[in-house]
Amino acid sequence: MHTRRNFLQQVAAATIAIPLSSLSSLAAVRARDGKVLRVALMGLGGYASRVAEAMQSCTKAKLTGIVSGTPSKIKDWQNKYGIPEKNCYSYDTFDQIKNNPDIDVVYVTTPNALHHNNVIRAAAAGKHVICEKPMALNAKEGREMIAACRKAGVQLLVGYRMHFEPKTLEVVRMRNSGEFGKILFFQGQCGFRIGDPTQWRLNKALAGGGSLMDIGIYALNGARYMVGAEPVWVTAQETKTDPVKFKEGVDETIQFQLGFPDGTVASCLSTYNMNNLDRFFLNGEKGFAELQPSTGYGPIRGRTHKGELTQPHKTHQTVQMDEMAGILLEGRQPVVPVNGEEALKDLQIIDAIYQAVKTGRRVDLHLG
């Protein structure tokens, strides 16, 4: 009996007519018609594996290429996903991807410090780019990436999977419709106790920081889309209990506060030293919303003053990739933006948080 992967391999090689009775058959036909987003994953680590598995259930996106500096990983992925040799690249040969019509977009899932170069190279090759968050190490790099994509005439999206999550979007809908009244307060708590001290996330040269760059960005970005406004100031404080594990420039725990134009405030916690922290709370004059867990891989759970949120769970990366296919192929506009300009605002705030930690002073924000 054929596996789904073997079936898709046969479909790609065949030229015979295919019945449209099954979802996989329909996806294959759309791929030949150019209506499926053809994706190359760059950086075959743990998160890329999660994305690849989730994409097996996509109807608008398909994994067609890979980029890695590890030959053994390339072979393993070829065998698992049926990726042809001509769609496999090392970092040395990556620029040749410009001549490959089987790839529409490169999804960059490498360590943070590599995003800048990887995105600019992909853009120069004429490919759209999806970049994992944080998009870059700082706002300066982010602006250069946006400019490179604009110059190349390609789109830059960022892997904000929560922007497509059903319960999250229901809270956004309720806020937009005025069901919470004037928003007064947001709280975001994101953290876990990190393990292996030798991993790249604890290496400032590769990560650009510590918990804030990795997990705190969820609370930061969440404050913006839950409140529905852009902050105008930030204050922040750092706590470090293990300077051996969390070396200079690698934050262990940061608390930060955001102020919004109408007086709304947000209080957020980012940490690599505490578990059981994955909670958003939004409070308004007429009601509230709580998500807990709020940003994990799921299922997300939530409630409001009107009761429990019951939207069904869907694998986040499956939804994200299908929705991003709609953006890139059909010009669709998401409820919450996922473009480079959206990510640049997060980078500007991150820069300001680190400045506030260093100076102990409030930092005014001028986003955009």
Say yes or no: 98 and 226 in one domain. Answer: no
Say yes or no: 125 and 216 in one domain. Answer: no
Whose tokens are 């948080």? That residue is 353
Tell me, yes or no, if 218 is annotated catalytic: yes
149 vs 127: CA distance, rounded Å: 9
Query: Any bridge partners for residue 278, and if so which?
Result: 190
- Is residue 28 situated within a structural domain? no
- Is residue 21 situated within a structural domain? no
pLDDT tens per residue, range 299-358? 999 999 999 999 999 999 999 999 999 999 999 999 999 999 999 999 999 999 999 999
Strand stretches in the chain, DSSP E: 37-42, 61-67, 88-89, 105-108, 128-131, 156-158, 183-191, 233-239, 253-259, 265-271, 277-284, 288-291, 302-304, 307-308, 363-364
- Is residue 169 situated within a structural domain? yes
Strand stretches in 84-214, DSSP E: 88-89, 105-108, 128-131, 156-158, 183-191
Query: Any bridge partners for residue 38, and if so which?
Result: 62
Say yes or no: 202 and 346 in one domain. Answer: yes
- Domain end among 121, 138, 158: 158
Question: Is 50 exceeded by the pLDDT of residue 154?
Answer: yes
Dump the DSSP string for 218-269.
HHHHHHHHHHTS--SEEEEEEE-S-TTTS-TT--SEEEEEEE-TTS-EEEEE
pLDDT for 83 equals 98
Average pLDDT for the chain: 92
Q: How many helices (H) and strands (E) does the chain have?
A: 12, 15
Helix, strand, coil fractions of the chain, as percent rounded to 5: 40, 20, 40
Say yes or no: 183 and 134 in one domain. Answer: no
Output phi, psi for 339, to 5 deg: -90, 175
- Is residue 24 situated within a structural domain? no
- Is residue 244 situated within a structural domain? yes
Say yes or no: 196 and 171 in one domain. Answer: yes
Say yes or no: 66 and 140 in one domain. Answer: yes
- Domain end among 158, 189, 222: 158
Say yes or no: 111 and 221 in one domain. Answer: no
Taking the CA of residue 157 as centre, how many other CA atoms within 13 Å lie in the half-sphere pointing to its CB? 26
- Domain end among 122, 139, 158: 158
What's the rounded mean pLDDT across residues 138-144? 98
From 58, 111, 110, select the one nearest 81 (Cα to Cα): 58
364 vs 341: CA distance, rounded Å: 19
pLDDT tens per residue, range 21-59? 333 333 433 434 558 999 999 999 999 999 999 999 999
Q: Is 93 exposed, middle or buried (0-12, 13-18, 19+ CB in 10 A)?
A: exposed
DSSP 177: T
- Is residue 256 situated within a structural domain? yes
The catalytically annotated residue of 133, 225, 272, 345 is 133
The catalytically annotated residue of 218, 225, 272, 354 is 218
Q: What is the CATH number of the domain that holds 300?
A: 3.30.360.10
- Is residue 56 situated within a structural domain? yes
Q: Which residues contact 35 (CB under 8 A, 6 or more apart)?
A: 60, 329
Farthest CA pair distance, the chain: 68
Say yes or no: 353 and 206 in one domain. Answer: yes
CB 214 within 8 A of CB 252: no
Say yes or no: 145 and 233 in one domain. Answer: no
pLDDT for 91 equals 98
Tell me, yes or no, if 133 is annotated catalytic: yes
18 or 324: which leads in pLDDT: 324
pLDDT for 26 equals 39
Domain total in the chain:
2
Say yes or no: 84 and 219 in one domain. Answer: no
pLDDT for 2 equals 42
What's the rounded mean pLDDT across residues 184-213? 98
Distances (CA, A) of 72 to 76, 77, 118, 339: 6, 9, 21, 33
Say yes or no: 217 and 281 in one domain. Answer: yes
β-pairing verdict for 88-89 and 61-67: parallel
CB 41 within 8 A of CB 105: no
20 or 105: which leads in pLDDT: 105
Look up residue 241 and give its two tokens.
Answer: 């209990």
pLDDT for 22 equals 35
Domain span at residue 122 reads 34-158
5 or 336: which leads in pLDDT: 336
Say yes or no: 149 and 227 in one domain. Answer: no
Q: What is the CATH number of the domain that holds 126?
A: 3.40.50.720
Question: Is 50 exceeded by the pLDDT of residue 10?
Answer: no
- Is residue 192 situated within a structural domain? yes
29 or 216: which leads in pLDDT: 216
Distances (CA, A) of 86 to 36, 74, 216, 230, 293: 19, 12, 39, 45, 41
